[in-house]
Structure 1
Amino acid sequence: MAPPTDQASSSSRSVSDNVIISLRKIIQAIDMNSKKLNKRVGLTGPQLVLLQEIARSGEVTAGEIARAVSLSQATVTGILERLEKRGLLVRQRSERDRRRIMVSITEAGQKILETGPPLMQEAFVEKFSSLQEWEQTMILSALQRLVTIMDAKAIDAAPFLSTGPVDSQTDKSGEEPPTSF
């Protein structure tokens, strides 16, 4: 006997079970993409987002980066420290205002952006944008309702697809801890 297809097996499950299964698939897809990104270029999604923002903006402050990517300045500062240790960016005092620390991308950081894979959310945004407006609104409404049902309204989230903590700490060897659920 052939194994049940997704459609056949989903008809015997409750709607809530199918919603939970769909949520798990989304989480797993994001997690797999994050691991692939980390393995391929040695960066997390948030690190790559920050590098992209710095490259786009040129010389910029940590506060400006934080506002642009919707993260706290403390989180951005931690990520910047790790990227600086890897030689992907430099931080230096502004020539015009010595109180300001300016961040700029290095040649090594630019090379990663040129050779690295696109972020998962870039493909998502492209596909999502091709949907009709009513369908986009319906999906947004359903997801916002799920956020409410799951008591997740107070969770602060940046607009990029990544699993685990955004500001993951490195262990004593300097390696990022694995993402787990």
Structure 2
Amino acid sequence: MDRLNESLIALRRILRATDIHTKKLGKATNLTTSQLLVLQSIEEAGEMTVGEIAAKVQLAQATVTALVDRLQGMSLVKREKGASDKRKVYVHLTEAGQDVLNRAPMALHDRYSERFEQLSDWEQHMVIAVLQRVAGMMDAEEIDAAPLLDSGHIHQPGKVDS
């Protein structure tokens, strides 16, 4: 097999792994990867403002607001005014939200993160350089992307999650 085909097969495997995991997550939890990431962040912190969640998951605040709205509509999170500062609104996990997290499969980006962190410094730099080069070869270097592996789109205001 020539190197071009080997590289295309490797890319296709990455895309398929992302797609398969997204479908598995959707089937197990009825959530997107970005929604799961928001729930996990809230679970870790106990309570967070939308701005804090946005900073943690590295998504735009408007996107996180839409995600939290959707999660609240599913009764997985609730919003409450702060006890000491009534101007702040905190997002909390509900019991139903905790139940969903308990049955969710490990997020693909979490698995990747664990394995990436085990690489030596030079290997991490090499992986980054190669992936950035591949993105450039596919004219994708200017595409806005969040640091999570998801084959679907991230819910943007005015759009519908798939």
TM-score (norm 2): 0.89
Give, in angstroms, the shift of residue 61 of structure 1: 0.8
Partner of 1:54: 42
Query: How is 1:22-61 mapped onto 2 (pairs within 5 angstroms)?
Result: 22-61=10-49
Query: How is 1:62-81 mapped onto 2 (pairs within 5 angstroms)?
Result: 62-81=50-69
**How far, CA to CA, are the matches of 1:107 and 1:87 in structure 2?**
9
Contact 2:22 2:152 in 1 (8 A): no
**How far, CA to CA, are the matches of 2:117 and 2:58 in structure 1?**
21
Query: How is 1:9-158 mapped onto 2 (pairs within 5 angstroms)?
Result: 11=1, 13=2, 15-158=3-146
Structure number with the bigger relative contact order (C-alpha 8 A, sep ≥ 6) is: 2
> How many pairs are equivalent?
160
Gaps of 5+ in 1: 1-10, 171-175
SS in 1 for 2:80: strand
Q: Deviations over 1:25-53 (max 9, x none)?
A: 10111010000010011111111100000
Give, in angstroms, the shift of residue 150 of structure 1: 2.2
How many percent identity over aligned positions? 41
1:164 is the counterpart of 2:148:
no
**How far, CA to CA, are the matches of 1:61 and 1:151 in structure 2?**
36
TM-score (norm 1): 0.80
**How far, CA to CA, are the matches of 1:126 and 1:96 in structure 2?**
37
Contact 2:39 2:97 in 1 (8 A): yes
Give, in angstroms, the shift of residue 96 of structure 1: 2.7
After the TM superposition, which of the residue ranges 136-145 and 26-35 deviates more from structure 2?
136-145
Gaps of 5+ in 2: none
Q: Deviations over 1:138-165 (max 9, x none)?
A: 1111111112222222222222111121
Letter in 2 for 1:21: I
**How far, CA to CA, are the matches of 1:102 and 1:129 in structure 2?**
31
Q: Which consecutive segments of 4 or more residues in structure 1 shift more than 6 A? A: none
